[in-house]
Amino acid sequence: MTETQRTPGSAEPTAPTASVLSAQYAPGEVEQRRYERWVADGLFKADTASDKPPFTIVLPPPNVTGSLHIGHALDHTVQDAIIRRKRMQGFEALWLPGMDHAGIATQNVVERQLATSGQSRHDLGREAFVEKVWQWKAESGGKILGQMTRLGDSVDWSRERFTMDEGLSRAVLTIFKRLFDDGLIYRAERIINWCPRCLTALSDIEVEHSDDDGELVSIRYGEGADAIVVATTRAETMLGDTAVAVHPDDERYKHLVGTEVELPLTGRRIPIVADAHVDPAFGTGAVKVTPAHDPNDFEIGQRHDLPSLTIMDEHGVITVHGPFLGLDRFEARPAVVAALRAEGRIVAEKRPYVHAVGHCQRCGTTVEPRLSLQWFVRTEPLARAAGDAVRDGRVRVEPPELTKRYFGWVDNMHDWCISRQLWWGHRIPVWYGPQGEVVCVGPDEQVPTGEGWTQDQDVLDTWFSSALWPFSTLGWPDETPDLAKFYPTSVLVTGYDILFFWVARMMMFGLYAMDGRQPFDVVMLHGMVRDQHGKKMSKSFGNVVDPLDWIDRFGADATRFTLARGANPGADVPVSEEWVQGARNFCNKLWNATRFGLSNGATVEGDLPTEDLSTVDRWILSRLQHVIAEVDEQFEAFELAKVCDTLYHFAWDDVCDWYLELSKGAMTPQRQRVLGHVLDQLLRLLHPITPFVTEELWTTLTGAPTLVRAAWPVADQALVDDAAEREVADLQRVVTEVRRFRADQGVKPAQRVVARLEGLDAAGLSAHEGLIRSLARLEAPGAEFAATAKLSVGVGVTVELDTRGTIDVAAERARLGKDKAAAEKEAAQCRAKLENPAFTDKAPDAVVEKIRQRLAAAETDLARINGQLDAL
C-alpha cells in the first residue's frame, strides 16, 4: 500500500516536480488560501455519528472585547498541535470554539462609547443599554475569532458558542436553580472585592496586585498604662474600628483583654479582644479591627460578635458624620493622620512603605474591601468533590507538581461571591415579592407576576457561566448527541495562572451537573510567555510582542514553532524575534529540502523497499523510526518543546545536512523512494506544529488533497538498524573531525585538500571513502604527496593531509604559539589564585567560581591548540 493510498479522500497522485514550488517559501501566498480551503472542505468538523473514538478540547473562551495577544497565541498553538495530531491518529477530534461575554470589560467599552456623546447607561435604561451592548457585539465584538484563523486554529466553526447565547443562558439558569434548591446558593452580607469605579463586586481573578508605595502609621489608642498601639496603612478605616485584637497568649496585653479603650477622633469606646488570628510577632502585636472593610477583620468580628460599621459609600467616599464626611478615601487618609498627629496620637510613621495593593483588572482603580449584600455559592461540598476527582485519578494534572497548588486551593476554598452590580450578563433569576417572598425561577418555570414583584438587579459573575463551558457548549441541560459523544472532554489546556479561578470552578460545576463525571480527563497547564531574558512582558517594559505582527513578517508557522519550542507543562515560555527568525529559516529549510527531493525524483509511489538498501538509506529509515517513537512519547506527555527540538534536529541535521548531502550524485530509484518516504513522514510529524508549510509541501509531494486528515506516522521496528546507525555515525565523525580541522586552519570550505585515509577497512568504512572525500573536500593522493598534518579520529581512522599550498604551516604554528602562550598565562594566573587560601577563603563564592570557570576555559583552549599543533 502506498503512502497516498492511506490518506482519506486522496486523489490519484501525479508526478510532482520542484518547479511546482516557488524558489522560496512565501507564507502570505499560502496561509489564507490554505485555511479557507480547510474550512470550506469541512476538515475541522467533528461528526457525532462517527464510530471513531472521540477526542475533545473546548477552547478557553476569550473575551468578546479581546484581541489575539501572545498568551492566546501560545495557548492556541498548544491546543491546535494536540488536536491536529489526534485527528491524524484517527480520532473524531472536536476543538470547540467560542467567546465569553466578559461582563465588566464589555460594559466598560460600551459605557465609554456612550460617554463620548455625553450619555450614561442610566440615560438609556437597562433594556436599551443591554440592546446597545448586543449591537456593539454584532458590529465590533469578537475580533479575536478572525485573528484565530491567521494562526491556523483548526476549530469546528459550526459549533461556535457564546456565553450569552440562548443555549448557554438556559444552562446558567438551570444550574443556578439546582444549586439554589440544594441550598448551595445563598444571599448574605460578606466582605467582597469592590471597585469604586466600576461599582461592582469583583472576583479574585479580576483583582491584580502590585507593590505600591504607602505609609505605615502607628497610632496610640487610649491613655497611660491602658494605652495600646496599632499600625495601619489605611488610617481612614479607623473611623470604622469596632475592636482592637491581640493574641490570647501575648503576655503584654493579657491584662487588657476584656477592657475597653477609646477610639481616637470618635469618642467611641471599643473592646480589646483576644483572637488567635493575630500574629504577636508582627508590629506591636495589636491590630485594629474594622469588620466592614477588611476580610480578616470581618472573620474576627464574626467570632466576637462585633458590629460592622460601613464608613464609605460605593464610590469610596466617607459617610461618617464629622470633619471627614464627603471626602474621598484617599483625601480622608492624610486628613485623618493630620488630625491624629494634632492630638499626639501618632507614635511612628514610615514612608514610603511598600505593600501589596489590589487593583481592578479592568480600570486599574484600587480595590476596596467592602461589606456588601451579595449572592454566594457554598463551595465546601463542591470543592471537596473537585479535590477527590484528582486524588482518585479521574483527572490528571500536568505537570504533576502543580497538583499540590490545586489541592491547596480547593481544600481551603472560601464561598464564592457570584453577584455583580452590572447590567450586562446573566441576570440573577430570583424574584422578591411584596410580602418578603424570595422565589428562584428555573428556565421552564413561570415568572411571578402581580404588583410588588421585582427581579434581583444583579447579574452573575462571568466565571459562573464559563464554569459550565465544558458541558453547556455541548448542549446541556439537554441530553444531546454532542454531549453523549464528546463529554467528558479529553484535555483542558490553559495557563497555570488560572488553575484556581477557572479550572477549579469547572471541576466543581462539571462534577455537580454531570452526576460525578469529570469535565476533562487531563488538565495541561502551560506557563506564561516571557521575553528572551525571562522577564514578564509588560507595556511599561517595552517588551510586549504582537503575534499578528510576527505572523505578518515571518509567517504563522514560524510564530507557532517559536512558541511551541518552549512549551512544556508548567514552564514559562521565553521568546525573542531572533528565535522567530530562526523558525522562519527552518521553514525555508524544509521548503528547500522538499524542492531538492522533487527535483531529484523523490516519490511516494509504490511500496517502500526494505531489501538491498544502502547503509545510508537504512540509517535514515532507522533514525526516522526512533524519531517517530520519541515524538509520540513527547506528545503524550504534552512536551511540545521536546517535540520541536526532536523534529528540528532530525530535519536539519539528519535529513538536510547529512542524508541529502550523502545522496547527491547517488539518486537511485530505491533512494528516490526512501527520500520520498522520509519527507512524507517528516512533514506529517511537523504538521501539528507548522500546518501551513507542511500542507503546501506534502500535497505537492504526494499529489493528495490535504495533510489535515492524513494518517499519523507509526514507528516500524523492522526498519530499526543499529548497525547502519553505528556505521554512519562513524562516517559522520570522520567527516566532522576533518571539517573542524579545516575550519581551525582557515581553509576555505570549497578548497580541496589532498589527503590519505588510513584504517577505513578496520573501521568498516572502506565502502564510504568516496562519500568521506566528497563531504570533507579531500582529493586522493598522488606521487608527490607529502603529509604535513595528521589527524587521528576516535573510530581508528587516520587522516594524513598535504596542506602545502593551502596552509602556511610556519605562520600557522607561529599564530598557534601565541595563542598557546596566552592560554598558558591565563591558566597559570587562575591556578595561582585558586591555590592561594587568602583568596579562596575571603573572596565571595561567586568570584571564586568565576575563576574556576576561567581556568577550565583556558585548559580547554590549551587542549585544542596542542591538538592543532600536533596535527601540523
Task: Please give the C-alpha separations between residue 138 and each of 134, 135, 462, 792, in angstroms, as whole numbers.
Answer: 6, 5, 19, 73
Q: Please report the pLDDT score of residue 468 as a whole number.
A: 98
Contact 802, 786 (CB under 8 A): yes
Average pLDDT over residues 284-293: 94
pLDDT, tens only, 399-417:
999 999 999 989 999 899 9
The CA distance from 134 to 143, in Å, is 15
Report the range out of 225-239, 421-435, 839-853 with the highest average pLDDT.
421-435
Of the candidates 734, 701, 729, which has an alpha carbon nearest to the alpha carbon of residue 616? 729
Q: Please report the pLDDT score of residue 5 as a whole number.
A: 36
Three-state DSSP at 290 gives coil
Of the candidates 732, 620, 611, which has an alpha carbon nearest to the alpha carbon of residue 674? 620
Average pLDDT over residues 836-857: 87
Q: Kindly tell me if the per-residue pLDDT of 747 is higher than 60.
A: yes
Q: How many helices (H) and strands (E) does the chain have?
A: 29, 29
DSSP 100: B
Q: Kindly tell me if the per-residue pLDDT of 13 is higher than 50.
A: no
DSSP 204: G
Alpha carbon 447 to its chain's center: 44
Q: What is the pTM of this model?
A: 0.85
In this structure, the number of other CB atoms found within 10 A of the CB of residue 360 comes to 23
pLDDT, tens only, 232-282:
999 999 999 999 999 999 999 999 999 999 999 998 999 999 999 999 988
Average pLDDT over residues 338-364: 88
Q: Kindly tell me if the per-residue pLDDT of 6 is higher than 60.
A: no
pLDDT band at 628 (very low <50, low <70, confident <90, very high): very high
Q: If you average pLDDT over every residue of the chain, what do you get?
A: 92
pLDDT band at 554 (very low <50, low <70, confident <90, very high): very high
In this structure, the number of other CB atoms found within 10 A of the CB of residue 388 comes to 15
Q: Rounded to 5 degrees, what are φ and ψ at 162?
A: -140, 135
Q: Kindly tell me if the per-residue pLDDT of 755 is higher than 80.
A: yes
The CA distance from 433 to 559, in Å, is 58
Q: Please report the pLDDT score of residue 807 as a whole number.
A: 66
In this structure, the number of other CB atoms found within 10 A of the CB of residue 432 comes to 15
Question: Sign of the CA dihedral 274, 280, 284, 289?
Answer: negative
Q: Please report the pLDDT score of residue 7 as a whole number.
A: 42
pLDDT band at 8 (very low <50, low <70, confident <90, very high): very low
Average pLDDT over residues 190-212: 86
pLDDT, tens only, 540-552:
677 888 999 999 9
DSSP 520: E
H/E element, 768: none
Of the candidates 661, 696, 687, 688, which has an alpha carbon nearest to the alpha carbon of residue 675? 661
Could you tell me where the DSSP H helices lie in 600-721?
A: 615-636, 640-649, 661-663, 669-686, 691-702
Q: Please report the pLDDT score of residue 166 as a whole number.
A: 95
Q: Please report the pLDDT score of residue 11 as a whole number.
A: 41
Q: Please report the pLDDT score of residue 646 as a whole number.
A: 98
pLDDT, tens only, 96-150:
999 999 998 999 999 999 999 999 999 999 999 999 999 999 999 999 999 999 9
Spatial neighbors of 61 by CB under 8 A, at least 6 apart, are 98, 99, 100, 161, 163, 466, 469
In this structure, the number of other CB atoms found within 10 A of the CB of residue 866 comes to 13
Three-state DSSP at 357 gives strand
pLDDT band at 867 (very low <50, low <70, confident <90, very high): confident
Instruction: State in Å, rounded, how far the first CA of the chain is from the last one.
Output: 56
Q: Which residues are annotated as a binding site?
A: 539
More confident residue, 745 or 300: 300
Of the candidates 147, 176, 5, which has an alpha carbon nearest to the alpha carbon of residue 69? 147
Q: Kindly tell me if the per-residue pLDDT of 511 is higher than 90.
A: yes
Three-state DSSP at 494 gives strand
Q: Long-range contacts made by residues 648-653, C-beta under 8 angstroms, separation at least 24?
A: 648/565, 648/586, 650/623, 650/624, 650/682, 651/586, 651/589, 651/590, 651/593, 651/682, 651/686, 652/586, 652/589
Q: What percent of the chain has pLDDT over 70?
A: 97
pLDDT, tens only, 26-63:
999 999 999 999 999 999 999 999 999 999 999 999 99
Average pLDDT over residues 621-632: 98
Per the structure block, which three cell numbers stand in for 140?
Answer: 465590533
Q: Kindly tell me if the per-residue pLDDT of 15 is higher than 70.
A: no
Q: Which residues are annotated as a binding site for ATP?
A: 539
Per the structure block, which three cell numbers stand in for 453?
Answer: 414583584
The CA distance from 88 to 704, in Å, is 15
The strand pairing partners of 371, in sequence order, are: 191
Q: What percent of the chain has pLDDT over 90?
A: 77
pLDDT band at 332 (very low <50, low <70, confident <90, very high): very high
pLDDT band at 17 (very low <50, low <70, confident <90, very high): low
What angle (nearest 5°) sits at the alpha carbon of residue 153, between those of residues 149 and 159? 95
Three-state DSSP at 706 gives coil
The string of DSSP codes covering 422-486 is -SSS-B--EEE-TTS-EEE--TTSPPP-STT-EE-S-EE-HHHHHTTHHHHTTTTTS--HHHHHH
pLDDT, tens only, 761-820:
999 999 999 999 999 999 999 988 988 888 888 788 999 999 887 766 677 777 778 888
